[in-house]
Structures are given as C-alpha cells and as structure tokens.
Amino acid sequence: MILKICGITNPEDAAAAIAGGATAIGFNFWVKSPRYISPERAAEIDSSGVRRVGVFVNESPARVEAIATIARLDVAQLHGEETGADYPKMAVWKAARVNQNFEFSSYVDCPADALLLDGPAGELYGGAGKTFDWSRVAAVRKRIILAGGLDASNVAIAIALAHPWGVDACSRIESAPGKKDHRKMSEFLEAAKAALGA
C-alpha cells in the first residue's frame, strides 16, 4: 500500500512524513505550481526507505529522465496529456482528473504502473483539494492511487469505497501551499494506516 505525501518542499516536512509512516513523498517539478521545487533542491532532501516521486506536466521523456537522475526519483507521476509513447524509461504513475464525464475505459490499456486519480481541478494540475465519487473506482482493474481532497476526516471512507493500492494527500494537510501542517499530516497517515489495518 502506498501512503504518499505530495508537494514536499523542505527537509522538515519530508522527515515528518516519513516518521509518520509515509511510504512515498512527492516533489512537484511543474514550474507553475505553488509547490514547485528545483531538482537540485529536491536532491538535497533525505528520504531514506521511501519512494521518491516526481510530479510532471507535459514534459518530454528526456527532460523527465534528466530531472529523475538529478533528484534521485523512483517514479514519474505524469499529470499532463501524455500518452504511453511519451513515457520516460522509468516507473510511471499516470494521473487523471475525475469529473462527472470521466471514462475509466479510456485508461484500461494505459501502460503506467499505476493510475493516480485526482479530483477535478479546472485548469490546475493537482492540489485543488476536491474529492470525487470514490465508489466509481472499485471496479477498475488497475493499481489505483486516490488523490484529491483527502485528509484524516475522509481517508478511511475513501479506502473502504475504492479499495485502492494507495492514497495521496497534499493541499488538505497544509498550513500554506508547500508547507505541511505536521499535525494534520500525522492524523492523515494514522487514519490511513488504521483503515488498512496496518
């Protein structure tokens, strides 16, 4: 099970996430994000024992791979309009925003290692803090990571309805964009672990 804290911008938040039981931390390399971090700065943040995930939006495979090398990434999380032909040569989690018109069937043959399903965000790419109908996910036959509006108050319900491979929290556990509220983050991780019986 993946317990991911995304939008990490500093060592203190990374350390608190790992101490709280996170199994993955995310770094946002989309320059328009309020949670943007440079690859060099991300490389300086220790994350022993957890997956390092990079968030990208419509970057070329070569650029993703170059950043992955600098920032010591394990996974590229792709939030743009990328197709399988655009994937870098590394583990990929393909992100998709779920709204009322979302068709899961269009992702059946997606070659990604996992599908990260985020709430609707308009023109934004993640971090909008909006949920979606998690019960729609239960029948999807892929590794699913739930994102979008998760915190301690609803992660157990999300897990019970969707039976995902992982959960991902960001904006709802922050005191400001890019700065985690350690109490909220800890409560989220504890609630997720309890729901999983971990």
How many helices and strands in the chain, by DSSP H and E?
5, 10
163: β partners: none
> Is residue 73 within 8 Å of residue 67, measured between CB atoms?
yes
Active site residues: 6, 118
H/E element holding 77?
strand 75-78
The burial class, CB within 10 Å (0-12 / 13-18 / 19+), for 167 is buried
CA quadruple 161, 7, 5, 68: dihedral positive or negative?
A: positive
Where residue 94 falls (left for φ over 0; alpha for ψ -120 to 50; beta otherwise) is beta
